[in-house]
Amino acid sequence: METLEFIIYPDGRVQEKATGIVGASCAEVTAAIEAQLGLVITQEPTSEYFAANVQKSSVANTHTTYSDW
């Protein structure tokens, strides 16, 4: 599940945390919101940012050889 969490501090700073979004696509998800909030000072990628999307394949390659015995 994709989740965006915002903490708004009394001085106007906003901390944003995106979870459940794998890879760099989190930047696409948050770009419109960040544009409305204002200047982005820092970004700290999480481990999910560096994770790769894993796709499982059900294809099995088999190779059979027969000996000359």
Q: Indicate whether 12 pLDDT > 70.
A: yes
In contact, 26 and 36? CB cutoff 8 Å = no
3-state per-residue secondary structure call for 2-69: CEEEEEECCCCCEEEEEECCCCCHHHHHHHHHHHHHCCCCCCCCCHHHHCCCCCCCCCCCCCCCCCCC
Q: Indicate whether 61 pLDDT > 90.
A: no
Higher-scoring residue by pLDDT: 52, 28: 28
Q: Indicate whether 10 pLDDT > 90.
A: yes
Phi and psi at residue 35, to the nearest 5°: -65, -35
